[in-house]
Amino acid sequence: MFDTVLVANRGEIAVRVVRTLRALGVRSVAVFSDADADARHVREADTAVRIGPAPAAESYLSVERLLAAAARTGAQAVHPGYGFLAENAAFAKACAEAGLVFIGPPAEAISLMGDKIRAKETVRAAGVPVVPGSDGSGLTDEQLAEAAHTIGMPVLLKPSAGGGGKGMRLVREPERLAEEIAAARREARASFGDDTLLVERWIDRPRHIEIQVLADSHGNVVHLGERECSLQRRHQKLIEEAPSVFLDEATRAAMGEAAVQAARSCGYRGAGTVEFIVPGNDPSAYYFMEMNTRLQVEHPVTELVTGLDLVEWQLRVAAGEPLSFGQDDITLTGHAVEARICAEDPARGFLPSGGTVLALHEPGGDGLRTDSGLSEGTEVGSLYDPMLSKVIAHGPDRATALRRLRAALGETVTLGVGTNAGFLRRLLAHPAVVAGELDTGLVEREADGLIPEGVPEEVYEAAAAVRLDALRPRGEGWTDPFSVPDGWRLGGEPAPLSFPLRVSEPVEYSPRGTHTVTEDRVSVVLDGVRHTFHRAADWLGRDGDAWQVRDHDPVAASLTGAARAGTDSLTAPMPGTVTVVKVAVGDEVAAGQSLLVVEAMKMEHVISAPHAGTVAELDVTPGTTVVMDQVLAVITPHEEHTEAER
């Protein structure tokens, strides 16, 4: 076993790897950018090395700086985690050339399976069924479009060089092919440095089921059962579970053997995942999609049902040890479900959020596990992936695991940064999810019904209670009666107190309940019902949901750029960076025409014209960093649009 391992990653996966290294008595080395100088993974490792400025390209993606950090600290091996350089064959090769063990598969296997086109050809030759799609690499836009028409709509555009849903586009209408191909290429180039695309037949209402494999350097390859990953949004997994209720033992064994053959076909070593797409009406008709040549985000559910530490086995295999068990020794016990907590706002179309973690509570206890990179004071920005943590529940059966996870999400508190915890809690209670009737489109179809309309009155009541409490006199002795906020006025009934508040829209709210306010909690009773919230600064949270309730000052608002935000203005929907500007001042634009692209946390958001008109103002250029609600441009409407509004 190694003496020292450098963890070439950040956030929750870095913390996770450090945990196993500590358990094995292996010294851990963390790396950090300037933005992560006080991050949790830095504090928990045995030592840490600064590797550069905040942009990933100058820090976590810098092979030269990572290798230098390993050399300075005497590391013998590098664990890449997932994301960043985890599936970068050049990095694996550079580690080997520097005398470091790359804790992952050989560079050749990464290269082969990282190219989706070559991967399909390789596993097809090994007898693994693949999704019908385009053949060959380096296809032009015209060739991709021709292949799409040959396959038949709808189709899925996929980057050949990467995974994780980045750059994937589902296209149902032929007339949208050109635009979607361009967008997919742009995102693939930004995410992977390679804009090669392939096109595949889209299978309606499919299930996404993947098989965990483990291979050593002595010819042993086993699978550790499957994970159901069908609950996705924009091709990003939200909820994962093991095992899948969709598979019987015969299908599980057949898919497992296919995954083993896929791993053998590329000379695999270490932990990897073979992903299959499965028609929702026929579990036996599964197709190979891709192989992820790394540890998966959702690996904890496999760990909980098998009792194996996958990071430990990555380390042991990389150190040259053989697997100490065979396929017949693998048993699945109970059921496990994982939820990914991300910095995003479901009420704003799941746009990325950010801020400082002011209050944090992460659940644990019997049957629960939280993998997290957070601590109070953590700054969540727009430079890195939005996933903050994972909450995982295990139980003797699926119903118990789901129930435990819903309760755990209700206990999760992350004030200061908007997250999707409340949304996930409601998703897990959806009848189709409870029944196990899943497909990759379920979340998209049901999302609107899982997002509450408006802000509950008790939120405003609690916010008013906090402000009312702050106005009350403190200390002993005489109290000036004019300082008591009771609405008293000379010669009349007490005036009702009111507070101008704002969550999304300004309201004038008069408290009417009874309140109890402490340093970190506030309870209000409205109409005989008690509501209790966690609180920190101007944030309130309960049951996984959180609200930032700010004081609203109409005068101050009128003096800011927000005053211009109306039907004529285009504002930033999230903090991020402007990557594309397609217009200039004076240009004539059509309603719905795409004008700018804002990117945050590896996600693109297209800003379109609200109506036909002329670009009157343009306040940004490519590379401009923007904050949420910042005015980007102003479109003066054409006269006919103005007349129609009158």
> Considering the domain 132-201 in this protein, what is its CATH number?
3.30.1490.20
Q: Are 35 and 42 in contact (CB under 8 A)?
A: no
Instruction: Provide CATH code, domain 4-103.
Output: 3.40.50.20
pLDDT, tens digit, 9 for 90 and up, residues 480-508: 665 556 665 566 666 678 999 999 889 99
Question: With 80 as the cut, is the pLDDT of residue 567 above it?
Answer: no
Residues 6+ apart with CB under 8 A from 433: 231, 239, 402, 427, 442
Q: Output the CATH code of domain 207-442.
A: 3.30.470.20
Residue type, position 287, single letter: Y
Q: What is the pLDDT of residue 342?
A: 97
Q: How large is the greatest C-alpha to C-alpha distance in the chain, in angstroms? A: 92
Q: What is the pLDDT of residue 553?
A: 81
Give residue-wise pLDDT tens across range 589-641.
999 999 999 888 767 788 999 889 999 999 899 989 888 778 899 999 986 55
Q: What is the mean pLDDT of the chain?
A: 92
pLDDT digits (tens, 9 = 90+) for 267-322: 999 999 999 999 998 999 999 999 999 999 999 999 999 999 999 999 999 999 99
Strands (E), 58-196: 77-79, 101-102, 155-159, 169-171
**Strand, helix or coil for residue 129:** coil
> pLDDT confidence of 645, banded at 50, 70, 90?
very low
Q: Which token pair is 236? A: 């990003």
Q: How confident is the model at residue 135 (pLDDT cuts 50, 70, 90)?
A: confident
For range 246-274, the mean pLDDT: 97
Q: What is the pLDDT of residue 31?
A: 98
Q: 452-471+498-552 sits in which CATH class?
A: alpha beta
What's the rounded mean pLDDT across residues 440-446? 96
pLDDT tops 70 at residue 476? no
Residues 583, 570: Cα–Cα separation, whole Å: 13
pLDDT at residue number 565: 45
pLDDT tens digits for range 506-549: 999 999 999 999 999 999 999 999 999 999 999 999 999 999 99
pTM: 0.85
Q: How far is CA 630 from CA 143, 228, 603, in A?
A: 40, 40, 18
In this prediction, residue 571 has a pLDDT band, given cuts at 50, 70 and 90, of confident
CATH topology assigned to domain 561-645: OB fold (Dihydrolipoamide Acetyltransferase, E2P) (2.40.50)
Residue 115 has pLDDT above 60, yes or no: yes
Per-residue pLDDT at 22 exceeds 50? yes
Give the tokens for residue 34.
Answer: 């300037």
Q: Distance of alpha carbon 86 from its chain centroid, rounded?
A: 17
How does pLDDT run across 351-383, given as a tens digit for each residue? 889 999 999 999 999 999 999 999 999 999 888
Q: Say which residue, 3 or 187, is predicted with more confidence.
A: 3
pLDDT at 563: 44
State which H helix or E strand residue 250 sits in. helix 249-265
What the block records as the tokens of 398 is 């699926």
Q: Is the pLDDT of residue 646 over 50?
A: no
Instruction: Say which residue the tokens 């064994």 belong to.
Output: 253
SS3 34: helix
Q: What is the mean pLDDT of residues 156-182?
A: 88
pLDDT at 299: 98
Domain boundaries, the chain: 4-103, 132-201, 207-442, 452-471+498-552, 561-645
Whether pLDDT at 174 is above 60: yes
pLDDT level of residue 564 (50, 70, 90 thresholds): very low
Query: For residue 561, is pLDDT > 80?
Result: no
Q: How far is the CA of 408 from the CAs of 42, 201, 235, 413, 504, in angstroms?
A: 27, 38, 25, 10, 27
Q: What is the pLDDT of residue 491?
A: 64
DSSP class per residue in 90-126: HHHHHHHHTT-EESSS-HHHHHHHHSHHHHHHHHHHT
On the question of pLDDT at 112 being above 90, the answer is yes
As a whole number, mean pLDDT of residues 567-593 equals 88
- pLDDT (0 to 100) of residue 32: 98
Q: For residues 375 and 137, what is the distance between their CA atoms, to the nearest angstrom?
A: 44
| Whole-number percent of the chain with pLDDT over 70 | 93
- Helix (H) / strand (E) containing 411: helix 398-411
Give the DSSP per-residue string, 271-319: EEEEEEEEETT-TT--EEEEEE-S--TTHHHHHHHH---HHHHHHHHHT
Quote the pLDDT of residue 131.
87
Total residues belonging to the chain: 646
Q: Residues 632, 619: contact at Cβ < 8 Å?
A: yes
How much is the pLDDT for 492? Answer: 63
Of 372, 412, 374, 365, nearest in space to 393 by CA: 365
For tokens 């042991």, the residue is 316
